Amino acid sequence: MRESKNSYKSQITVNELSWKPTKDHKNILEKINITFDKGNIYGIIGPNGSGKTSFIKNLLHFVEPDKGNIMIEDVNLLDYRRKDLAKKIALVPQNTTMDSSFLVYDVVMMGRVPYQKRFAEASQSDIDIVTEAMILTDCYSFKDKEVDMLSGGEAQRVLTARAIAQDTEWLILDEPTASLDVKHQIELMESLVKLKKHKNKTIITVLHDINIAATYCNQIIMMKDGKVHSHGKTEEVLTKDKLREVYEINFEILDNMKNGKKYYIPYTCD
Amino acid sequence: MKKRNRVRVHGVGFLLIIILALEVILSASVGSANLSFFNSLKIIIHRIPVIGNFYDLSDVKEVYIKIVWDIRMPRILLAGLTGCALSVVGASFQGLFKNPLADPHILGVSSGAAVGATIAMLSGMTMSFMGLGVIGIFAFLGALITVFIVYQIACVGNKISTVNIVLTGTAVSMMLSAVISLLMAFHHDQIEKVYLWTMGSFSSATWQKVSFMSFFTLVGIVGIFMFAKELDVMTIGNDSAKSLGIDTSRVKKYLIILASLLVAACVSVSGIIGFVGLVIPHCIRLISGPKHKRLLPFSALGGAIFMIFCDTIARTITAPSELPVGVITAILGTPYFIYLLQHNKRKLGA
């Protein structure tokens, strides 16, 4: 265990986590051990089927671990009431299609549900928080649009705004850039950096694009076959050898003159 | 702008209540013995405690009082309560299953009730409980047993998948319909009776049935209304709902139990009346918007208004004989629904 002044209190620790969807299925996640410290942006990367989304589902108590446990700030995840957990961790889901005629504003307001009484109307502070979240994610301009009329990118930003409105210390995103164009990819990732800086949020995001991960995440967790292949500081994890082991293709690594980070170019041997 | 919207929505609610009240009085006036609107109004008000004492009924014929209060009112109220219950269940199922085609009968409740009713008719038994005859009792039990079986089959581990439960409900319904056909094949003489029952009717309404139905409607609707916020969030997606702190499995379970009791009560007093639970919520959604806090109470009012209207037509248009109310709901409702579909193509749906 790491020793620091507020060690467990500001961590999510995952201990020997194994999980399978049904009894006679093989393990999708196998003995995962990892600690998330506050104040970082974690990127979870890995090939399709490596268990990234399953891992997130476990972190959010959508499913229950078969072995091992997850401790959030020193309390077992399974001991949290769902409503209390929703005040700790927010999710931006992978599937952003919303087949509903709710307005954008109403959907972002749903981020306040964990804090509201059953029949309570939105308070002024709810309204302020929701407005700020919409401005931050650039969706205030279409707040009165119905959500089933949104483009993929707009829907993504609305759900991100909702997660921000949830006002949690931890924010989990499942492939947030998948349906965004280049401009919105960059804007979304930069808004995450801002959230970390100004709102003290710790961010855990599944990503497919290694260059986005390299640019915006300071910690990388690389998964393969349901296990954590390697994790740690971004430059230490994203090396030619490790990437080749995980993705089974080669990478050329260049210096990115624009931001001082690395730039990764995948290629095959033949 | 928000404030004006709220005023408008409250106005619509108020308007629906007025329409419902006028409709009840009007419906109590029409029939083989026609009364004036004010006479039936008097008779109804006379029965209301306290205010009623100020009304003098001496100028109204005794027989009219009997017709309005003992014959027409129970029927009108029973139709209203059933319409109310069916459309609230429909509205909540459309949200819960995220399926615009969901209606109160989707879990196999109605075919279960029909098997129960058929068995009761064929057995020729007689008994009664809470104002229900043997057919009603068997229908009620048949409905509940069927939902229980569907629910058990559709559960994987301790989780209910909405796709599973809808498919299981449909499959079990089909099998039960075959069972009814089989039973009828052996009892040709009862075919007409069974067939008429499945088309629905309020002709056997009594005050006892009204109180039976009021109890279930009140408990069921209040219960479902408690989950208005959860239903809102669940229409956006299951994962979203869970991450916002909603125990989706629990919500599904409670809603299915409440809705099944409601629908079982409906079919046991009236037979199977389709269409209301499917279409009224869609129409109401156009006025109320998608928030269940408004959608559910407005659907309750809309369902009652529509059902009383249909039943009044069913009992008057071919008087002295009458038509099955299920026929009227479909014949009247479908063209209107298609009209709405044409004009609001993208707005209909959960």
A87–B236 CB contact, under 8 Å: no
**B49 burial level (CB within 10 Å; 0-12, 13-18, 19+):** exposed
Nearest to B43 by CA among B80, B72, B81: B72
Looking at residue A223, its pLDDT comes to: 95
B235–A102 CB contact, under 8 Å: yes
The total number of structural domains in chain A stands at 2
The total number of structural domains in chain B stands at 1
B164-183 per-position pLDDT tens digit:
888 899 899 999 989 988 88
B289–A101 CB contact, under 8 Å: yes
- Position A51 in a domain: yes
Question: What span, in angstroms and rounded, lies between the C-alpha atoms of B133 and B125?
Answer: 10
Question: What span, in angstroms and rounded, lies between the C-alpha atoms of B50 and A5?
Answer: 72
* pLDDT, averaged across chain A: 89
CB count within 10 Å of CB B278 equals 23
Determine the distance in angstroms separating the CA of B172 from the nearest CA of chain A, rounded to an integer. Answer: 25
Nearest to A85 among B236, B245, B290 (CB): B245
Do A172 and A82 sit in the same domain of this protein?
yes
Residues of B in contact with A127 (CB under 8 A): none
Kindly give the pairing relationship between strand A170-174 and strand A89-92: parallel
| Structural domain that includes position A100 | 96-167
B14-26 per-position pLDDT tens digit:
999 999 999 999 9
- A24 vs B305, more confident: B305
- Position B25 in a domain: no
Looking at residue B1, its pLDDT comes to: 40
pLDDT at B72 over 60: yes
ipTM of this complex > 0.90? no
| Structural domain that includes position B241 | 1-19+78-349
Instruction: Tell me, rounded to whole angstroms, the distance of Cα B91 from its chain centroid.
Output: 11
Assigned token pair, A252? 């050329």
User: What average pLDDT score do residues B67-71 get?
Assistant: 85
Backbone angles phi, psi at B21, to 5 degrees: -65, -45
Question: What span, in angstroms and rounded, lies between the C-alpha atoms of A82 and B26?
Answer: 50
A25-43 per-position pLDDT tens digit:
888 999 999 999 999 999 9
Substitution target in A19, A25, A101 with the highest count of B β-carbons within 10 Å is: A101
Q: Give the dihedral of Cα atoms A116, B301, B100, A119; nearest 10 deg.
A: 0
Looking at residue B293, its pLDDT comes to: 92
pLDDT at A5 over 50: no
- Position A197 in a domain: yes
Contacts (Cβ under 8 Å, ≥6 apart) of B195: none
Q: Which range in A124-128, B46-50, B205-209, B327-331 is most confidently predicted, on average pLDDT?
A: A124-128
Looking at residue A9, its pLDDT comes to: 65
Question: What span, in angstroms and rounded, lies between the C-alpha atoms of A164 and B108?
Answer: 42
Do A176 and A223 sit in the same domain of this protein?
yes
A155 in reach of chain B (CB within 8 A): no
pLDDT at B232 over 90: yes
Looking at residue B131, its pLDDT comes to: 65
A100–B350 CB contact, under 8 Å: yes
- Position A151 in a domain: yes
Q: Give the dihedral of Cα atoms A85, A87, A89, A93; nearest 10 deg.
A: 100
Looking at residue A102, its pLDDT comes to: 92
- Nearest-CA residue of chain B relative to A94? B239
Instruction: Tell me, rounded to whole angstroms, the distance of Cα B117 from its chain centroid.
Output: 18
> B172 and B152 in contact (C-beta within 8 Å)?
no
Do A191 and A254 sit in the same domain of this protein?
yes
- Position A229 in a domain: yes
Looking at residue B99, its pLDDT comes to: 80
Do A82 and A178 sit in the same domain of this protein?
yes
Express as a percent the part of chain A with pLDDT over 70. 96
- Nearest-CA residue of chain A relative to B286? A101
Question: Model pTM?
Answer: 0.87
pLDDT band (50, 70, 90) for residue B345: low
A195-204 per-position pLDDT tens digit:
898 888 999 9
Question: What span, in angstroms and rounded, lies between the C-alpha atoms of B121 and B128?
Answer: 14
Do A101 and A21 sit in the same domain of this protein?
no
DSSP string, B141-172: HHHHHHHHHHHHHHEETTEE-HHHHHHHHHHH
Do A133 and A44 sit in the same domain of this protein?
no
Do A60 and A182 sit in the same domain of this protein?
yes
Largest CA distance in chain A: 63
Contacts (Cβ under 8 Å, ≥6 apart) of A143: A103, A104, A105, A108, A134
Question: What span, in angstroms and rounded, lies between the C-alpha atoms of A215 and A45?
Answer: 13
Do A197 and A153 sit in the same domain of this protein?
no
Among residues A149, A167, A185, the one where a domain terminates is: A167
User: What average pLDDT score do residues A105-122 get?
Assistant: 91
Do A80 and A132 sit in the same domain of this protein?
no
Instruction: Tell me, rounded to whole angstroms, the distance of Cα B168 from its chain centroid.
Output: 22
Among residues A144, A167, A190, the one where a domain terminates is: A167
CA-angle at B55, arms to B50 and B59, nearest 5°? 150
Q: Which residues does B contribute to its contact with A (CB < 8 Å)?
A: 98, 157, 226, 228-229, 232-233, 235-237, 239-240, 242-247, 285, 289-291, 293, 346-347, 349-350
Question: What span, in angstroms and rounded, lies between the C-alpha atoms of B249 and B246?
Answer: 9
- Position B311 in a domain: yes
User: What average pLDDT score do residues A245-267 get?
Assistant: 87
CATH of the domain at A230: 3.40.50.300
Question: What span, in angstroms and rounded, lies between the C-alpha atoms of A168 and B175?
Answer: 49
B48: left (phi over 0), alpha (psi -120 to 50) or beta: beta
- Position B173 in a domain: yes
- Position A6 in a domain: no
* pLDDT, averaged across chain B: 85
CB count within 10 Å of CB A21 equals 12
B48-60 per-position pLDDT tens digit:
777 766 666 777 7
User: What average pLDDT score do residues B283-307 get?
Assistant: 93
pLDDT at A6 over 90: no
Among residues A114, A145, A167, the one where a domain terminates is: A167
Do A162 and A172 sit in the same domain of this protein?
no
CATH of the domain at B187: 1.10.3470.10
B236–A95 CB contact, under 8 Å: no
- Position B36 in a domain: no
pLDDT at B163 over 70: yes
Question: Which residue's entry shows tokens 């959907």?
Answer: A107
pLDDT at A103 over 90: yes
- Position B189 in a domain: yes
- Position B155 in a domain: yes
Looking at residue A181, its pLDDT comes to: 86
A25 in reach of chain B (CB within 8 A): no
Buried b or exposed e, range B81-113, using 16+ CB within 10 angstroms: bbbbbbbbbbbbbbbbbbbeebbbbbbbbbbbb
- Position B108 in a domain: yes
Assigned token pair, A225? 């076959």
pLDDT at A244 over 80: yes
Question: What span, in angstroms and rounded, lies between the C-alpha atoms of B100 and B95?
Answer: 8
pLDDT at B271 over 70: yes
Do A104 and A233 sit in the same domain of this protein?
no
User: What average pLDDT score do residues A69-98 get?
Assistant: 91
Do A102 and A236 sit in the same domain of this protein?
no
